[in-house]
Structure 1
């Protein structure tokens, strides 16, 4: 699973969404009314390209507002549900990282403990890869083989309704050549989070999705496992194939697991973000570790600076925001917050057209929300 928006648009499959490069700007952030107008303008431009719909929930100045554009059903005029359910894809990683760091705060996980110590035999070099490396994608683990087979290759549709064991995904990642020596640098890989899901289960004794929902107080965020349908209300997602949009709403996401399998709503993700950034979910030491970022690798500055399960992005007005992006067949999402949690955004987009191919278009909405 690549993390760039370019890759999402190129394959219309399960990849994460990246922000566009920050632009130098001296203009001050505008008033909420102006921001909302700018967001609506950018969303309308985006849905003309995507062919489907978009919904954004923004929290600013103690108030919440939403904006929506396009349609929830391709070819029909159906308003996007203001708090519909959607597949959050790699935004799942932020939830999983928070769950793991809560266990660190409880003394049940050591950030510098090894995979071998928690999951004996899971990796051929598990004694050299730490929990911290998994969280920050510095393990060197590969995920290309699993992605090509189950997510973005020619066989992806064949496995649309198939159950995929996490151990199989880890096996494929373990057998593939390492991208670099453990800890040497950063490279985004789903295999890291497949392992974190397994580790959470080993330590807590509960399925990772259940542990996340329980420990973080999530209300409308859960892991559907083999359940392929979304609860109502929801917008439909599409995959452009054979020259037309294929409704891909029904999907088994066990091939994503703890790397991208959660379902949620904009309201629940916004509440989660607010509680996370205000220090209600993690102890100060663990929140500090999460938000301590390393510089993005050369050439990947647009993807954000990686922390532990989170990325730091720069907006057009210079604000630093923390969050994560996600993309799964038919859906793209982005969540972000200022460090103090007083400004937050949750964005969901459905796709039904190959014309949506501008990597910066989605992040225009993000910068409009935070800057105007």
Structure 2
């Protein structure tokens, strides 16, 4: 949800190199990851946990504390808010509807939501998925997200208000001409899914995915147990923001999950168990993306491709919402997958250099 955090997480796995160093064996990589996690949590005074699958072997690592100021181990498969990783799940739901003939990628917003946008006849579903619509979400982001989350942490927000705040803002560029990440695109996709299916977007998004711990809590402010506590730094101290109403994030970033569920999702997605081949190819197509803000990597439809420093290409998404940061990625063949979640606490929680080391070590030696 927060562009700066998302860019930091993504940039850590988006450095192209001309030669690829030797790959570390799983045991060696786990030791490197553990060391980097320990350095990160010592700096940030937060907690972090990773789940990695490499060539059929699954391992986990954790560091730091689940509760500020206490010695409380991070739950290895605890629940956490996944922020913009929600977008990858919502995009999958939209593309599944495309495969079922219920939605067209080149269908316009007006086709499914008549009159919701002033230029809804020019913005297509494909543009929403790839963030090339030109819609700007700064007005809603600044009001309800980031620093606004403390003020509005228990506030119910209608998605129509979020969309109107965007629609009333100037467009970043003419639809389809550039790429710029915007939450407004996914607010609209959630609304389209509901208009087409008659079901809540989250119910449709998790249909047939086998995700037992993934949900959209909406007005329910408590996280399922077990979970680590998340914090937001304010007035020189950490403020516990574990309890949060996520209606202001909605289909752009309001879901809750676990490392096991997110690993299961990315594995099933890339192995072709969720989407038909044509829709999966569309999702993963990052060829010739429009120019613009691509700090998240090369954009597909609801997913990004990153090139790691050791030359591996991985697909996934990152996300941040007050209290929690998440990163999910996998090689295309699914043989090497990684999920990282960390709580946010001190202002140093996203120290770029150390976070880069953690994210890159998940795939590189």
Corresponding residue SS for 1:214? coil
**Of 142, 150, 171, which residue of structure 1 is paired with 2:164?**
171
Residue matched to 1:210: 203
Distance in 2, Cα, partners of 1:296 & 1:109: 22
Paired positions, count: 363
Distance in 2, Cα, partners of 1:57 & 1:7: 21
Unpaired segments ≥5 residues, structure 1: 9-16
Residue matched to 1:14: none
Distance in 2, Cα, partners of 1:179 & 1:255: 22
- Is the contact made by 2:6 and 2:296 (CA closer than 8 Å) also made in structure 1? no
- Superposed structure 1 runs of 4+ greater than 3 Å apart: 294-302
Residue matched to 2:91: 97
Unpaired segments ≥5 residues, structure 2: none
Moved more, 45-54 or 333-342: 45-54
- Is the contact made by 1:140 and 1:183 (CA closer than 8 Å) also made in structure 2? yes
- Is the contact made by 1:135 and 1:308 (CA closer than 8 Å) also made in structure 2? yes
**Alignment of 1:256 onto 2:256:** no
Q: State the shift of 1:371 in Å.
A: 1.6
**Alignment of 1:356 onto 2:349:** yes
Corresponding residue SS for 2:362? helix
Q: State the shift of 1:3 in Å.
A: 2.8
**Of 55, 64, 67, which residue of structure 2 is paired with 1:73?**
67
Residue matched to 1:47: 41
Distance in 2, Cα, partners of 1:353 & 1:95: 29
Change (3 A) 1:294 1:246: farther
Q: Deviations over 1:290-345 (max 9, x none)?
A: 00014577785552001000011111101000000000001100000001111111
Residue matched to 1:108: 102
Residue matched to 1:371: 364
- Is the contact made by 1:61 and 1:342 (CA closer than 8 Å) also made in structure 2? yes
Moved more, 72-81 or 289-298: 289-298
**Alignment of 1:183 onto 2:215:** no
**Of 140, 144, 165, which residue of structure 1 is paired with 2:138?**
144
- Is the contact made by 2:46 and 2:349 (CA closer than 8 Å) also made in structure 1? no
Corresponding residue SS for 2:51? strand
Residue matched to 2:24: 30
Which aligned pairs between 1:315-354 and structure 2 lie closer than 5 A? 315-354=308-347
Q: State the shift of 1:7 in Å.
A: 7.3
RMSD: 1.7
Distance in 2, Cα, partners of 1:212 & 1:262: 11
The TM-score normalised by the length of structure 2 is 0.96
Q: State the shift of 1:355 in Å.
A: 2.3
Residue matched to 1:196: 189
The TM-score normalised by the length of structure 1 is 0.94
Distance in 2, Cα, partners of 1:170 & 1:302: 24
Residue matched to 1:122: 116
Corresponding residue SS for 2:319? strand
- Is the contact made by 1:4 and 1:303 (CA closer than 8 Å) also made in structure 2? no
Distance in 1, Cα, partners of 2:347 & 2:37: 17
Change (3 A) 1:349 1:357: closer
Q: State the shift of 1:274 in Å.
A: 0.6
**Alignment of 1:266 onto 2:259:** yes
Distance in 2, Cα, partners of 1:254 & 1:302: 26
